[in-house]
């Protein structure tokens, strides 16, 4: 039972489902059944529809704001006198411009800051409020978006166990230098209207076909363009590249490309987890193994065809603070104050780990996952070979 000051127009239970109710006019009491909510506390929200008060103001229109661009938010009022006395409250450094539309309606042009030090954050929620005579009459909660965003579907990520993955910054892709590889750039238009974009792709020692494309994208929609990448020379190593988007939005997305032939095995270093320390990677066309630059922990053992990481969430073989890491062909040598470990990747997707001390007994156990079979062969107390294959 709930006591009210006026007759309700109709209660709405959580989830928007209407419910029958009894109204006791003499005692101003409404009775209605309330279903149990989910969760341990069984909480449920109830909405009671009533007539608006004599002085009221409402938001309409936009549910999002594009950072650095003028956005129109519409408001309406119960009287023209109230509209003339009202004002819009917004976070600091948001630029506001009132555009009267009718005696009872005002549009506001709102610009979220795109420059430091008060730059708005992509994905952030902000609250706008309408105020008159010191009373807040209405509120709305809007989400902030960049004008556009871009992601590369083929970009590798850092696997945090078998189920979670962290995007790399900048993104990294590998490709066959002879055959090339198709890259799919997914561009999302965050404007509430159709927009046109121009996409240019370039890189050191790389050829992209096509290197320039034009695309039209519907409101709040993502669209892909396909580009094939080839290597121009025979040099090895990671190449720097850039995707530039212009038109309705203007920004650049850096990424890196790694030429990797069928029989190639490369050892390279780059920061995978964003801690400012370079990690060490061994990679072929089929598998990738990565090790932490902080303590030498084995972070990933990935079968690339299915993007399956065979290691547990915490990785394996964590050590103390590492003194040095050195690449020697398709191998890495790690040094600590009290020991040394060598990790090499050979043919047949075989990773060999050898160290001064005996390897712990609770390392990776043989098994099968996502159609991939992996084995562990302990050749000595301090030496083991980890192999992975996909049966035909």
Q: What are phi and psi of 366, to 5 degrees?
A: -60, 150
Helix (H, G, I), strand (E, B) or coil at 84: helix
Looking at the structure, do residues 141 and 160 belong to the same domain, yes or no?
Answer: no
CATH number at residue 169: 2.60.40.10
Looking at the structure, do residues 71 and 104 belong to the same domain, yes or no?
Answer: yes
The predicted-structure confidence for 118-173, as pLDDT tens digits, reads as follows 888 999 999 999 999 888 888 999 999 999 999 999 999 999 888 888 899 999 99
> From CA 346, how far away is CA 77, in angstroms rounded?
73
Q: What's residue 156's pLDDT?
A: 92
Looking at the structure, do residues 278 and 237 belong to the same domain, yes or no?
Answer: no
Mean pLDDT across the stretch 374-380?
90
Of 145, 163, 186, the position where a domain reaches its end is: 145
> From CA 55, how far away is CA 298, in angstroms rounded?
65
- pLDDT band at residue 1 under the 50/70/90 scheme: low
Looking at the structure, do residues 81 and 157 belong to the same domain, yes or no?
Answer: no
Rg (CA), the chain: 30
Q: What's residue 74's pLDDT?
A: 94
Mean pLDDT across the stretch 361-383?
85
Q: What's residue 10's pLDDT?
A: 66
Residue 85 has pLDDT above 90, yes or no: yes
Of 16, 31, 49, the position where a domain reaches its end is: 49
Q: What's residue 110's pLDDT?
A: 95
Residue 17 has pLDDT above 80, yes or no: no
Q: Is 380 exposed, middle or buried (0-12, 13-18, 19+ CB in 10 A)?
A: exposed
Q: What's residue 259's pLDDT?
A: 94
The predicted-structure confidence for 206-249, as pLDDT tens digits, reads as follows 999 999 999 999 999 999 999 999 999 888 889 999 999 999 99
> From CA 240, how far away is CA 204, in angstroms rounded?
6
Residue 264 has pLDDT above 70, yes or no: yes
Residue 91 has pLDDT above 80, yes or no: yes
CB atoms within 10 A of CB 322: 20
Q: What's residue 55's pLDDT?
A: 83
Q: For the chain, what is the mean pLDDT?
A: 89
> From CA 370, how far away is CA 325, in angstroms rounded?
33
Write out the H or E segment, with its range, that includes residue 82.
helix 80-85
CA distances from residue 171 to 90, 276, 294, 301, 379 in whole angstroms, order as listed: 36, 16, 21, 19, 37
Looking at the structure, do residues 15 and 63 belong to the same domain, yes or no?
Answer: no
Mean pLDDT across the stretch 329-343?
90
Q: What's residue 34's pLDDT?
A: 79
Looking at the structure, do residues 100 and 127 belong to the same domain, yes or no?
Answer: yes
The predicted-structure confidence for 176-216, as pLDDT tens digits, reads as follows 998 999 999 999 999 989 999 999 999 999 999 999 999 99
Looking at the structure, do residues 27 and 94 belong to the same domain, yes or no?
Answer: no
Q: What's residue 361's pLDDT?
A: 75
Of 86, 113, 145, the position where a domain reaches its end is: 145
Mean pLDDT across the stretch 336-359?
91
CA distances from residue 264 to 260, 339, 342 in whole angstroms, order as listed: 6, 29, 19
Q: What's residue 365's pLDDT?
A: 81
Do the beta carbons of residue 121 and residue 129 sit within 8 Å? no
DSSP 105-172: EEEEEEEB--SSSSPPPTT-EEEEEEEETTEEEEEEEEEEE-SEEEEETT--EEEETTTEEEE-SS-E
Residue 271 has pLDDT above 90, yes or no: yes
Looking at the structure, do residues 105 and 34 belong to the same domain, yes or no?
Answer: no
Range with lowest mean pLDDT among 46-50, 86-90, 219-223, 239-243: 46-50
> From CA 203, how far away is CA 181, in angstroms rounded?
14
Looking at the structure, do residues 230 and 292 belong to the same domain, yes or no?
Answer: no
Total structural domains within the chain: 4
Q: What's residue 209's pLDDT?
A: 95
Looking at the structure, do residues 44 and 63 belong to the same domain, yes or no?
Answer: no
Looking at the structure, do residues 123 and 109 belong to the same domain, yes or no?
Answer: yes
Domain range for residue 232? 148-259
Q: Tell me the percentage of the chain whose pLDDT exceeds 70.
A: 95
Q: Of residues 14 and 41, which shows the higher confidence score?
A: 41
Looking at the structure, do residues 221 and 141 belong to the same domain, yes or no?
Answer: no
The predicted-structure confidence for 290-325, as pLDDT tens digits, reads as follows 999 998 999 999 999 999 999 988 888 887 888 889
> From CA 125, how far away is CA 214, in angstroms rounded?
32
Range with lowest mean pLDDT among 44-48, 97-101, 200-204, 294-298: 44-48
């Amino acid at each position: 039972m709930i006591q009210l000051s006026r007759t309700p127009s109709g209660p709405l239970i959580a989830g928007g489902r209407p419910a029958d109710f009894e109204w006791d006019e003499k005692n101003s009491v409404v009775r209605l059944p309330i279903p149990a909510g989910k969760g341990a506390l069984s909480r449920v929200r109830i909405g009671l529809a009533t007539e608006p008060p004599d002085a009221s103001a409402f938001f309409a229109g936009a549910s999002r704001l594009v950072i650095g661009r003028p956005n129109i938010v519409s408001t309406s009022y119960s009287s023209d006198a109230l509209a003339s006395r009202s004002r819009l409250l917004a976070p600091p450094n948001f630029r506001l411009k009132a555009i009267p539309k009718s005696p009872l309606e005002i549009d506001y042009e709102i610009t979220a800051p795109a420059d430091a030090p008060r730059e708005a954050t992509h994905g952030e929620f902000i609250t706008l409020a309408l105020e008159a005579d010191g009373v807040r009459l209405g509120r709305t909660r809007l989400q902030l978006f960049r004008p556009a965003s871009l992601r590369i579907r083929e970009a590798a990520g850092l696997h945090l166990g078998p189920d979670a993955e962290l995007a790399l910054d900048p993104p990294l892709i590998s490709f066959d230098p002879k055959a090339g590889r198709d890259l799919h750039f997914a561009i999302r238009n965050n404007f509430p209207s159709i927009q046109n974009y121009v996409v240019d792709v370039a890189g050191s020692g790389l050829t992209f076909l096509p290197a320039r494309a034009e695309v039209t994208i519907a409101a709040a929609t993502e669209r892909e363009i396909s580009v094939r990448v080839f290597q121009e020379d025979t040099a090895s190593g990671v190449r720097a590249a850039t995707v530039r988007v212009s038109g309705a939005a203007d920004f650049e997305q850096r990424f890196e490309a790694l030429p990797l032939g069928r029989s190639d095995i490369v050892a390279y270093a780059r920061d995978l987890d964003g801690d400012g320390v370079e990690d060490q990677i061994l990679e072929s066309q089929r598998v990738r193994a990565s090790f932490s630059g902080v303590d030498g922990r084995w972070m990933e053992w990935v079968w690339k065809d299915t993007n399956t990481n065979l290691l547990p969430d915490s990785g394996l073989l964590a050590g103390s603070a590492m003194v040095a890491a050195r690449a020697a062909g398709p191998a890495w040598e790690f040094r600590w104050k009290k020991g040394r470990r060598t990790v090499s990747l050979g043919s047949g997707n075989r990773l060999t780990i050898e160290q001064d001390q005996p390897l712990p007994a609770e390392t990776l156990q043989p098994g099968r996952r996502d159609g991939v079979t992996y084995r562990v062969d302990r050749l000595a107390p301090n030496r083991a070979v980890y192999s992975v294959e996909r049966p035909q």
